[in-house]
């Protein structure tokens, strides 16, 4: 009996060492070696290896992308209560990643299994699912799961929960809690929270108006790649206000940053700057190009601008 226990312990240790080796291969981008080891361990019923193997098939890392094989391995791990696998599999069911497998009921069941194991991302996904419906019952469920996810340290949940407090959606309106949650997420470098916090300081809604802090968080959000913040900063520099002095060159700089992210409104304002010579030499040809691009991306004002000013592409 002692010999059997020793043998099982030894096998467990070997599996753990092999898993760690596979993980090191993955971290050092030796993906094929990582895949080979994860594959061996997965076939020996190592659930973490099954999950990682599923992700490698899903993303096509170290192996040809194969969503069907990803589904099979994630299902295998999920059936053994692997919470990350349950969450990923739920996502596949929710979005219908493989043809004919879309099943919202199965998705919700798996999200809840994972969420009830305190997995913050599954809790976040559940909250976001319920948040898309405009009714009180769904709003309360979204609020519940955002709170759970935030309690487990999820930054995105913190921002979204703050928004629910701000608008009184699924809970009583509470600006103080909104500010607290936005600040937590903003300090954790969440670009949406930085933008939202900036707008609260700018408008003074629920908090003492503070243009210095509004400018600070807006710039941080823009630097982190938030196209909404980049567009807003472009507007502020173009017009000049209590946050920044008028500066057409900086306005164009931020418009262009957002435009490169294929943001139609920003593309319009790049064209607007070229048309008027704001921050750059007037160039009707380039103005027409950017207006046309914005119009093609569905921005109605660009189409109207081209028609009104007789710009033809």
Find the domain containing 312 and state its range: 225-313
Q: Is the pLDDT score of 124 beyond 70? A: yes
* 28, part of any domain: yes
Contacts of 212 by beta carbon, 8 Å cutoff, 6+ apart: none
* 127, part of any domain: no
240 shares a domain with 213: no
239 shares a domain with 203: no
Extract long-range pairs of 38-43: CB within 8 Å, 24+ residues apart: 41/15, 42/73, 42/76
Query: Which run of H or of E encompasses 196?
Result: helix 191-203
Q: How far apart are CA 56 and CA 208, in angstroms?
A: 49
Q: What secondary structure letter does DSSP report for 240?
A: -
pLDDT digits (tens, 9 = 90+) for 284-306: 999 999 999 999 999 999 999 99
229 shares a domain with 211: no
Instruction: Choose between 100 and 69: higher pLDDT.
Output: 69
pLDDT digits (tens, 9 = 90+) for 168-210: 999 999 999 999 999 999 999 999 999 999 999 999 988 899 9
Q: What are phi and psi of 43, to 5 degrees?
A: -75, -15
Instruction: Tell which residue, 279, 285, 288, 294, has the closest CA to residue 308.
Output: 288
pLDDT digits (tens, 9 = 90+) for 220-230: 999 999 999 99
309 shares a domain with 238: yes
CB 21 within 8 A of CB 37: yes
Task: Name the domain boundary from 200, 224, 248.
Answer: 224
* 4, part of any domain: no
229 shares a domain with 215: no
pLDDT digits (tens, 9 = 90+) for 6-48: 333 434 444 567 889 989 989 999 999 999 999 999 999 999 9
% of the chain exceeding 70 in pLDDT: 95
In the prediction, which pLDDT does 313 show?
86
Contacts of 165 by beta carbon, 8 Å cutoff, 6+ apart: 171, 173, 174, 175, 177, 178, 181
Q: Is 170 left (phi over 0), alpha (psi -120 to 50) or beta?
A: left
Predicted TM-score of the model (pTM): 0.86
Q: Domain containing 26 — which CATH number?
A: 1.25.40.10
């Amino acid at each position: 009996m002692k010999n059997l226990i020793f043998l099982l312990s030894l096998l467990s240790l070997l599996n753990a060492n092999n898993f760690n080796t596979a993980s090191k291969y993955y971290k050092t981008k030796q993906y094929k070696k990582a895949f080979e080891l994860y594959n061996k361990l997965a076939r020996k019923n190592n659930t973490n290896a099954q999950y990682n193997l599923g992700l490698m098939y899903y993303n096509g890392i170290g192996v040809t992308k194969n969503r069907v094989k990803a589904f099979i391995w994630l299902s295998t791990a999920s059936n053994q209560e692997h919470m990350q696998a349950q969450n990923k599999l739920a996502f596949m069911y929710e979005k219908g990643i493989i043809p004919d497998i879309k099943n919202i009921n199965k998705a919700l069941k798996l999200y809840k299994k994972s969420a009830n194991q305190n997995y913050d991302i599954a809790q976040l996904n559940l909250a976001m699912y319920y948040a898309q419906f405009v009714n009180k019952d769904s709003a309360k469920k979204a609020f519940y799961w955002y709170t759970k996810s935030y309690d487990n340290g999820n930054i995105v949940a913190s921002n979204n929960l703050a928004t629910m407090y701000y608008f009184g959606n699924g809970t009583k309106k509470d600006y103080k809690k909104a500010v607290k949650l936005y600040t937590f997420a903003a300090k954790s470098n969440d670009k949406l929270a930085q933008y939202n916090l900036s707008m609260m300081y700018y408008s003074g809604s629920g908090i003492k108006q503070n243009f210095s802090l509004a400018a600070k968080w807006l710039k941080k959000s823009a630097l982190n790649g938030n196209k909404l913040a980049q567009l807003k900063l472009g507007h502020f520099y173009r017009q000049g206000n209590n946050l920044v002095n008028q500066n057409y060159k900086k306005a164009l700089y931020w418009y262009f940053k957002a435009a490169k992210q294929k943001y139609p409104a920003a593309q319009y304002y790049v064209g607007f700057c070229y048309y008027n010579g704001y921050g750059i030499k007037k160039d009707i040809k380039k103005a027409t190009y950017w207006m046309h691009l914005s119009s093609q991306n569905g921005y109605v004002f660009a189409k109207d601008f081209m028609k009104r000013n007789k710009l033809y592409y």
